Amino acid sequence: MTDREHDEPGEPGPLGPGVIEAALSTMPSAPGVYRMLNARGDALYVGKARSLKKRVAAYTQPGRLPDRLRRMVAETSALEIVTTHTEAEALLLEANLIKRLKPRFNIVLRDDKSYPWLMLTEDHPFPQIVKHRGAQTRRGTYWGPFASAWAVNQTVTAMQRVFLLRSCTDSVFANRSRPCLLHQIRRCSAPCVGRIGGGDYAILVGQAKAFLAGKGAAIQRELAEEMEHAAEALEFERAAAIRDRIRGLTHVQGSGVVNPASLRDADVIAAWQIGGQSCVQVFFVRGGRNNGNRAFFPQHARAEEAPAVLAAFIAQFYDDKPPPPLLLSNHRLPEQELIEEALGLKAGRKVEILIPARGEKRAVVQHAETNAREALERRLAESAGQAKLLEGVGRLFGLPAPPERIEVYDNSHIMGAQPYGVMVVAGRDGFAKHAYRKYGIRGAITPGDDFAMMREVLERRFGRALKERAANPEASPAEATPHWPDLVLIDGGAGQLSAARSVLADLGVQDVPLVAIAKGSDRDAGREWFHAEGGAPFQLPPRDPVLYYLQRLRDEAHRFAISAHRTGRAKALTTSELDEVPGIGSKRKRALLNHFGSSRGVKQAGLTDLEAVPGINRETARRVYAHFHSQ
């Protein structure tokens, strides 16, 4: 795979078809990915091609392109390409770049959430069953993904009930002196206090793995035989315990449309469109069980058809997760064979996409389709209500139009310690959490000086935006700073409003309406005072929907500010003087602290003592010693 550039992004120069024609002279005919860039160097569009030269040549004739692509070509200032060995590799790279760069003219999946997995650890004599997120670095067996934390928690509970596996941490396990409550309610075999031996516990672990691999029927037969043997041996208490495990297993394995018996490992993906908007519903089926479902709302042009949206969604969705061997869909995809080849390349095995026409698989797809339609209808209804609220906000504060982007600012600290300022963003689609920002206060702040904190936050937010405008003098303000707010809300009273206006005036920002929200003297929600420029403070009727909406905005900013402060405080509690020593990472820091007990002990240690620490060589010991004994 090779990367080549045509023109430098961000350099002033010609725009439109001329840029593309100039690039064609050296464009190869190999497979690859091309990126259209605007004058700022931002990606406008990412596409893949079997032959880059043939595909890109189509953009030199704008008259044959739809309006949307004509606008894209007109804004193109530079073109970048990456060649690949095959078209399938190009498709995978295209999906990765679209997901990362979020180009304005592509179908974009906005999915920034990590998915939970079920993990059985393998680094302990008695494996633990636990929910896991993030990188799969710990030695163990992973099952998933699951659609939500709720879905994986339900599975953990079921696995405890049927297989009696422990869920406690290793440190809790090592310090137990008597069984915990989970053992008493028959959800753990209590290996921590020797109620079960290593061999018998290993049998439970093996049964759990077999069940998660889709062999539940075999496990059920095995348990039934074990129950009969216990009854014949007159071990009725043990037989009753096995009976309860069988009942739990039967409940978990219940089949139907939600738990299809004919599917083992598959994802059911269905798209539905209303009014130019799409919803894609995904059901995760692993080991014959439904691991939950989730609705997605890809961003795309109104004219895009459902099959094209679904094809782009699938390519981006599996960019950071392994695809199952089977995908069931409600639409035949454009270039379906190529998508299957690309997913197979990523998975290292064959991946098949089916559009079932009858039977249980068709019923499952129809169920996902119904969920997609209902989720989209709910979203559209919420958007309509949101639009009315924004119209009310616009009328209340005398704005020329309903605000498309509202920014809310708040801060949090304890007597000046770990001060953070935050920005929360809301618009027609509700809270835009991907646009939230938190600012660790860098300046020296007097404890309780909220004005100084707000000044720093506003200077950093709007100072950066103004630099973007200055870097593109030829572009209109809306094009140079597309994320400019239509309304700014400040948590506070007249003093905060005056301070915020002073900051923006110093920056030369005159086109941002400012409003401060202050609680009344009794601090009761519903009696807030609104301070806007050019008018006296006022209150809204207690049951006014716009008041509830503004309260929600303020409360969300407050929640995010407290969350940022708590995270910063927790991080500060785990830092020490050792973090300032060059070349000392977490592993060596832990070795030093374990050996000396504290950073103070490390500081007072001699060079010989430092060299004696396991994992600390002579050079590192000298570096640590020199840091604390600079003389």
Residue 8 has what pLDDT?
41
Give phi and psi for 158, each to the nearest 5. Answer: -65, -40
Say which residues have a Cβ less than 8 Å from residue 270's Cβ, sequence separation at least 6: 280, 281, 329, 330, 365, 368, 369, 371, 372
143 three-state secondary structure? strand
Which residues in 428-468 belong to E strands, given as ranges? 430-431, 437-440
Residue 278 has what pLDDT?
92
How far from 229 is each of 207, 236, 240, 264, CA to CA, in Å? Answer: 18, 10, 12, 31
Say which residues have a Cβ less than 8 Å from residue 275's Cβ, sequence separation at least 6: 302, 380
Which ranges in 285-426 belong to alpha helices (H)? 306-317, 336-347, 359-396
Quote the CA–CA distance of 81 and 77 in Å, as a whole number.
14
| Element at 119 (helix H, strand E) | strand 117-121
Fold match, 405-571 / 577-628: no
CATH number for 577-628 (one of 1.10.150.20, 1.10.3720.10, 3.40.1710.10, 3.40.50.720): it is 1.10.150.20
Residue 152 has what pLDDT?
82
Q: Would you state the torsion angle of the CA atoms of residues 460, 410, 498, 417, taken in this order, to the nearest 10 degrees? A: -80
Residue 10 has what pLDDT?
41
Q: Which CATH superfamily is domain 405-571 in?
A: UvrC, RNAse H endonuclease domain (3.30.420.340)
DSSP line for 174-202: HT-SS--HHHHTTS---GGGTSS-HHHHH
Quote the CA–CA distance of 475 and 484 in Å, as a whole number.
14
Say which residues have a Cβ less than 8 Å from residue 540's Cβ, sequence separation at least 6: 396, 528, 530, 546, 547
Is residue 194 packed enough to be buried (19+ CB in 10 Å), middle (13-18) or exposed (0-12)? exposed
Both tokens of 450, joined, read 């909220």
Residue type, 479: E
Give phi and psi for 107, each to the nearest 5. Answer: -75, 120
Q: What is the CA radius of gyration of the chain?
A: 30
Is residue 362 packed enough to be buried (19+ CB in 10 Å), middle (13-18) or exposed (0-12)? middle
Quote the CA–CA distance of 438 and 410 in Å, as a whole number.
10
How far from 422 is each of 409, 419, 445, 555, 571, CA to CA, in Å? Answer: 6, 10, 16, 12, 18
Which ranges in 213-289 belong to alpha helices (H)? 216-232, 236-252
Q: Which fold has domain 266-378?
A: Nucleotidyltransferase; domain 5 (3.30.420)
CB count within 10 Å of CB 107 equals: 20
User: How much helix, strand and coil, in percent to the nearest 5, is found in the chain?
Assistant: 45, 20, 35
pLDDT in tens, 224-243: 777 887 777 787 777 777 77
Of 545, 485, 543, 539, which is closest to residue 517 (Cα–Cα)?
A: 539
Which residues in 432-526 belong to E strands, given as ranges? 437-440, 487-491, 514-518
pLDDT in tens, 562-576: 888 777 766 655 556
Residue 521 has what pLDDT?
59
Quote the CA–CA distance of 33 and 46 in Å, as a whole number.
7
How far from 99 is each of 67, 280, 317, 487, CA to CA, in Å? Answer: 24, 16, 9, 29
Of 304, 316, 366, 314, which is closest to residue 340 (Cα–Cα)?
A: 314
Of 39, 8, 41, which is closest to residue 22 (Cα–Cα)?
A: 8
Q: Which CATH superfamily is domain 2-101 in?
A: GIY-YIG endonuclease (3.40.1440.10)
CA angle (96 as vertex; 370, 428 as ends), nearest 5: 50
Each domain of the chain, given as residue ranges in start order, spans 2-101, 117-252, 266-378, 405-571, 577-628
Instruction: Give the neighbor-by-neighbor strand order of the sheet with 129-132.
Output: 129-132, 117-121, 140-143
How far from 444 is each of 410, 458, 464, 496, CA to CA, in Å? Answer: 18, 16, 21, 19
Ranges of residues in the chain with a pLDDT under 50 are 5-12, 254-258
Which residues is 271 bridged to in the sheet?
280
Residue 112 has what pLDDT?
63
CA angle (30 as vertex; 26, 31 as ends), nearest 5: 125
Both tokens of 44, joined, read 């406008």
Quote the CA–CA distance of 22 and 128 in Å, as a whole number.
61
Spatial contact of 417 and 432, defined as CB atoms under 8 Å apart: no
Residue type, 542: P
Which residues is 165 bridged to in the sheet?
none
Residue 12 has what pLDDT?
46
